[in-house]
Structure 1
Amino acid sequence: GEKELLGLWMAQTEGAKFWLSVMNELKNRGVDDIFIACCDGLKGFPEAIEAVYPKTQVQLCIVHQIRHSLRYVNWKQRKTIAADLKLIYGAATRAEAEQALEDFAVKWDAEHPTISRSWRANWERLSVFFDYPVEIRKAIYTTNAIESLNASLRKITKTRRSFPNDEAVMKVLYLALHQASKKWTMPIRNWKPAMAQFEIMYQDRI
């Protein structure tokens, strides 16, 4: 139940080719298998994961999906729509979630048709966590762990404002990541019940 940062990469653009090179590097460095990968839907990232690790289940981050859904919603409706979205990802089963999505579409499609359309288009990867028990779903369906780390990195680069070259940026970020990783002393919450589930579900891969 330990967190570990596997790498730091820099590129001009984030596309399928870049993500494929990252995944191939991890594979070559000894990451033999990934059970579940949670990502934020960056273009080409899920496909790159599945190309290198065909058995991996890719879960799109629910938090990112909610933010995307609320991006163009006026503030008066935000709370209500957010509550209705929670009925989808907070459902007990995939079937109940799909019904909640249908109900959401009936209620909101006239004003905000793109919200349900986006959920439906990405449903296969948004609903992976329903295959798992409630106690470990929150560890699966969000990229919050890396998001908090990214926020601390943005804070550091913002205070510096300018760097002479890419190498200088990488050095600062590397040192910041090294310091942050020293604080990862607590095991991941609910890891024991999660591991018990994984040992059964992935017994031929552990």
Structure 2
Amino acid sequence: MTEMIESMDSLTTEQQELAAELVAKARAEGVELTRPNGLLTGLTKQVLETALETELAEHVGYDKHDPAGRNGANSRNGTRTKTVTTDIGPVAIEVPRDRDGSVDPQIVRKRQRRLQGVNEMVLSLTARGLTTGEVSAHFAETSPVPGSARTPSRAGL
């Protein structure tokens, strides 16, 4: 956890300005930062769902809505709602499923309900501007999730 906090302290001036701009925009629009449906909750939800979608795409071998997945041995099978408790409170996420139930997500494991350190990751990713190169570096430094080098770019980060 301290590794993530230390990495946030080492943000460049540009990254700090981007984070300040995001917070200022949220406040101007009347969006709370840490309340349910607030800025951090929304960002956390988006990052977790994108990471889960990427893990499933790597598992089944094709991206969502890709015709290559039709009539395959294993395919996508919708989503299920799951509420996880984070440092800022509960976050409802949509967890993608596969038909035979063989996917073993790493970012939010099966039956896992409590996440720690996710908010630091979300703030850091947001402050870094979500460019592929920066996210790849951050992902490699802080994530316990094994994955290919393409994982951050496949996640759209």
Give the TM-score taking structure 2 as reference length.
0.32
Greater Rg by CA: 1
Give the TM-score taking structure 1 as reference length.
0.26
Greater helix share, structure number: 1
Greater strand share, structure number: 2
The one of the two structures with greater contact order (alpha-carbon pairs below 8 A, sep at least 6) is 2
